């Protein structure tokens, strides 16, 4: 385990966080949660039929006695959950419809978080991103003043840590979206002991080229400055001007970033997704995430190709977000 995750474990000492795992019979989930529970880092809540989960744990060869197992069909407060869900959905579903919906593990698990019976949720090992995020958007919802959720990666290599956003959710963010992503990414950076210095990226540096794409980034910068004048942020920047001090002196000599940015806001999903994968594969950075941000409570999405280590690490991140 890298030093980054050891630091996260240290942050969680004594916090007693409960994290929900809707995919309670998945081998990777069982392996990771047995380790997390045994270490006393968090209390995992496995969702599913108790007998099936215990039998599957025996087949995998892990001990889940330190985990809490919850079956939606046997939940004592299910009718209260139904009432709460109907109220939260503002009449868009009936009680009968809610009873059926809440038998879905992702919806049930998300409601546990909403009803303060858990601190966060990790799903996606066997579900699509939509199946994980949809219940969160319907139930947890975005924070006041935030229109959309977004997905960031913490890029880790040795002692170096950087935030890349948005790399997972918003395909073509407008200026308001980019501004929100920048503000939320700075908050996420702070959670992981990164003092945010935010660069709004483009193919242009400080007007070296003009197009609707560059103007969108410039407008986003103005929006952020209007919301948070204390945040160290600048743009629009090509990556080298944001990251290399000698290049910054030539291209943007008056920038407060001085070529030392550590939070990078990409102008589109394609740019962000390509960028983080290049850093991961060519730069040998560890890409931690995607971490969802902008929600009222932490819900995070695994890749269906994830390993048990990925589950373990994302659970730590989710617990830190809850902290």
Q: Which two tokens stand for residue 194?
A: 């990164």
Hey, how many other C-beta atoms are within 10 angstroms of the C-beta on 49? Answer: 16
Q: Tens of pLDDT along the chain (323 residues)?
A: 578 888 888 888 888 899 999 999 999 999 999 999 998 889 999 999 999 999 999 999 999 999 999 999 999 999 999 999 999 999 899 999 999 999 999 999 999 999 999 999 999 888 888 888 899 999 999 998 888 899 999 999 988 999 999 998 899 999 999 999 999 999 999 999 999 999 999 999 998 888 988 999 999 999 999 888 899 999 899 999 999 999 999 999 999 999 999 999 999 999 999 999 999 999 999 888 889 999 999 999 888 888 999 899 999 999 999 97
pLDDT at 205: 92
Coil, strand, or helix at residue 235? strand
Element housing 262 (H / E): none
- Rounded to whole angstroms, the Cα distance separating 176 from 66 reads 44
270 Cβ contact list (under 8 Å, min separation 6): 171
pLDDT at 146: 87
Query: Could you give the C-alpha distances from 249 to 201, 245, 246, 259, in angstroms and in order?
Result: 17, 6, 5, 8
Give the 3-state secondary structure percentages of the chain, helix then strand then coil, rounded to 5.
45, 20, 35
Identify whether the C-beta of residue 107 lies closer than 8 Å to the C-beta of residue 135: yes
306: region left, alpha or beta (phi > 0 left; psi from -120 to 50 alpha): beta
- Rounded to whole angstroms, the Cα distance separating 90 from 92 reads 6
Residue carrying the six token digits 């008056």:
254
pLDDT at 5: 86
Maximum C-alpha span of the chain: 66
The pTM (predicted TM-score) of the whole model is 0.88
- Rounded to whole angstroms, the Cα distance separating 23 from 126 reads 7
Q: Which residues pair with 70 in a beta bridge?
A: 47
- Rounded to whole angstroms, the Cα distance separating 8 from 3 reads 9
Domains of the chain: 3-141+296-322 (3.40.50.10950), 150-286 (3.40.50.10750)
Angle ∠(216,267,166) on CA atoms, nearest 5: 130
Identify whether the C-beta of residue 186 lies closer than 8 Å to the C-beta of residue 231: yes
Q: Say how far residue 56 (Cα) sits from the centre of its chain.
A: 28
Identify whether the C-beta of residue 218 lies closer than 8 Å to the C-beta of residue 182: no
Identify whether the C-beta of residue 264 lies closer than 8 Å to the C-beta of residue 163: yes
Coil, strand, or helix at residue 216? helix
pLDDT at 228: 84
pLDDT at 1: 55
DSSP code per residue over 246-288? HHHHHH-TT-TTTT---EEE-SSHHHHHHHHHHHHHTS--EEE
Query: Could you give the C-alpha distances from 265 to 99, 101, 277, 314, in angstroms and in order?
Result: 41, 36, 15, 22
Q: Which two tokens stand for residue 312?
A: 């373990």
φ, ψ of residue 164 to 5 degrees: the values are -115, 130
């Amino acid at each position: 385990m890298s030093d980054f995750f050891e630091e996260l474990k240290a942050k969680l000492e004594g916090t007693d966080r409960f994290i929900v795992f809707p995919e309670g019979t998945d081998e990777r989930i069982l392996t990771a949660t047995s380790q997390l529970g045994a270490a006393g880092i968090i209390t995992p809540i496995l969702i599913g039929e108790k007998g099936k989960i215990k039998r599957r744990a025996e087949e995998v060869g892990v001990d889940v006695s330190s985990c809490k197992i919850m079956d939606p069909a046997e939940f004592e407060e299910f009718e209260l959950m139904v009432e709460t869900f109907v109220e939260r959905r503002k009449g868009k579903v009936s009680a009968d419809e809610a009873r059926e919906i809440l038998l879905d593990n992702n919806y049930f698990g998300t409601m546990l978080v909403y009803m303060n019976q858990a601190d966060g949720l990790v799903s996606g090992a066997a579900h699509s991103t939509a199946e994980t995020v949809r219940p969160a958007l319907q139930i947890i919802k975005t924070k006041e003043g935030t229109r959309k959720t977004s997905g960031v990666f913490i890029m880790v290599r040795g002692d170096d840590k950087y935030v890349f956003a948005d790399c997972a959710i918003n395909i073509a963010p407008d200026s308001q979206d980019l501004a929100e992503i920048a503000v939320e990414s700075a908050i996420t950076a702070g959670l992981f002991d990164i003092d945010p210095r935010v660069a709004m990226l483009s193919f242009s540096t400080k007007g070296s080229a003009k197009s609707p794409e560059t103007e969108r980034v410039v407008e986003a910068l103005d929006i952020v400055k209007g919301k948070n004048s204390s945040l160290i942020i600048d743009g629009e920047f090509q990556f080298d001007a944001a990251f290399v001090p000698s290049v910054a002196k030539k291209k943007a000599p008056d920038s407060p970033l001085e070529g030392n940015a550590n939070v990078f806001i990409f102008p589109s999903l394609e740019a962000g997704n390509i960028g983080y994968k290049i850093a991961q594969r060519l730069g040998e950075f560890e890409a931690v995430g995607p971490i969802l941000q902008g929600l009222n409570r932490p819900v995070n999405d695994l890749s269906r190709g994830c390993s048990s280590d990925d589950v373990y690490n994302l659970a730590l991140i989710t617990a830190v977000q809850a902290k």
